[in-house]
Amino acid sequence: MIYEAQEARQIDEWAKTSGLPLEVLMERAGSEIAKRVMNNHDRKERIVILCGTGNNGGDGYVIGRELIRDGYDVTIHAPFGAAKTPIALLHQRYAEKFGLATEAVCGQYDVMVDALFGTGFDQSRLTKPLTDLFDWVREQQQRAILYAVDIPSGIPTDHSTGFSGQGIKADVTFSLHAFKRSAFLLKTAPFFGRLEKIDLGLPAFGGWQLFSESIAPLLTRDAYGHKGTYGTALLIGGSEHMPGSIQLAARAALRTGVGKLQVATVPTAQVGLIVNAPEAMVLDQTTEAIQEMITEVDVAGIGPGLASDSVSDWLDLLFDQDIPVVLDAGALIRDRYPERKAAIVVTPHIGEFARMTNQSVQTVQDDLFEQASDYAMLHQVTVVLKAHVILIAKPDGGGYVVAGASSGLAKGGSGDTLFGLITSLLGQRKHYKQIPLERLIAMGVSWYAQASKHVEQRIHPSSITATDVIEQLGQVENDDRIN
């Protein structure tokens, strides 16, 4: 799961009222983090744990107690004084029974644990004494590895609006029970380092989750199926100046398994499709041709490379049909959408989404989760927001985050490829009928991300093209095969 600060507090309150005291949760968190630190470091290394006055500091005292109990050289440094919350104070006093007293820092450390603030940090606390402490931490990090408890100190939890860039930069962040939103935002993600989740034995509440499911269900085929089993998709896109976009989308759709593919495009792109995607059937990019074909398809996708005065009319045609419609690029022109049973999926990148919502790119980047979720709920559409991570926002709130794609995707054609893949999967809904729509999209996005990482094993990210990723979609790794 991915929580905002309020959700984290709610799950703590739920645990308390359900009979699981917070001091037990603190014990679980600190003990598990201590085990992981011990797995990576020996007793010869000097360890300093920075403890704040709140519950994050309480986690630090548990970590310190477990480490010193196992013979590690541990210093506890409490720059703001003793613990102030009852639970943290309880664990501080218990740690002191093991000889773990707070003291001033001295010399160079090998390991640092940041247990200062957690999700409770307020930017108003960013005074000179604290920035001086952050500077000292950065100096230590020239030789020391730094672990953060739940969230690096100084980093906001929910969004990065107004974030000054002042904070502790962790090598590893131990996320308690759930990841925090700022771990996936452009400004703040670099401060988290590698993310490791600490399971506290609590149920999963909240609407957003990091997608980590297997893509195996997408790789199944019916031994007795035929092309009709896997649906018919219609793609509309391309222009004389941008004929390549629709070709990439078409090739991705074919690689993703759709049974039949119809492509309405301009003559220049038609020639390219005949050569590069002969499996696709081409038709003229006219209202008459689209109107004739629309009743025969299971999904329609429109937008890549599109530049036509008829786009609005074509959207009306598509919305009148009881089929999913995927909108990208040149088709992202509506400020409202009709009520309909079948899904509408919009796939903007950050710049397009900023234009759609009349905001700056920075405003969108600073609050990706809220932005995507608000738009999805307001318009009752599914939003696939393409940033350094990809968010799939549901019309009823919440959604999925797919992370870990290759940096090589940061170039033209990547969005066209993803658009074609998503449209293809939605055309196969009869085959994937047991998978909810947004989850199916998340699985497709994950497939796309995994393919890009596999390409990265043989091609440097600077040289990766959308075509490389399309070809990789067919190169299923042995671990993912379905026998």
Task: Summarize the annotated binding site for AMP as residue ranges.
Answer: 415
Sheet with 46-51: list strands edge to edge: 73-77, 46-51, 111-115, 145-149, 172-176, 194-198
Q: From the centroid of its chain, how far is CA 199?
A: 19
Residues 172 and 147: beta-carbon distance below 8 Å: yes
In angstroms, rounded to a whole number, what is the distance separating the alpha carbons of residues 375 and 354?
A: 11
Q: How do 179-180 and 2-3 pair as beta strands?
A: parallel
In angstroms, rounded to a whole number, what is the distance separating the alpha carbons of residues 164 and 19?
A: 40
In angstroms, rounded to a whole number, what is the distance separating the alpha carbons of residues 161 and 115?
A: 23
Read off the tokens for 165. Answer: 């860039």
What single-letter amino acid sits at 465? Answer: T
Binding residues: 55-59, 114, 150, 153, 305, 349, 415-416
In angstroms, rounded to a whole number, what is the distance separating the alpha carbons of residues 433 and 429?
A: 5
In angstroms, rounded to a whole number, what is the distance separating the alpha carbons of residues 169 and 93?
A: 29
DSSP assignment letter at 307:
-
Residue 114 DSSP SS3: strand
The DSSP secondary structure of 427-451, one letter per residue, reads: HTTTTTTTS-HHHHHHHHHHHHHHH
Binding residues for K(+): 56, 114, 153
- Per the DSSP assignment, residues forming a β-bridge with 413 are none
Q: For residue 27, which phi and psi values (nearest 5 degrees)?
A: -65, -45
Q: From the centroid of its chain, how far is CA 106?
A: 40
Residue with tokens 């932005």: 371
Which parts of 277-386 are beta strand (E)?
A: 281-284, 299-302, 325-327, 344-346, 382-386
What single-letter amino acid sits at 182? Answer: S
Residues 30 and 62: beta-carbon distance below 8 Å: yes
In angstroms, rounded to a whole number, what is the distance separating the alpha carbons of residues 481 and 483?
A: 6
In angstroms, rounded to a whole number, what is the distance separating the alpha carbons of residues 16 and 120?
A: 19
Consecutive H or E run containing 40: helix 22-40
DSSP assignment letter at 50:
E
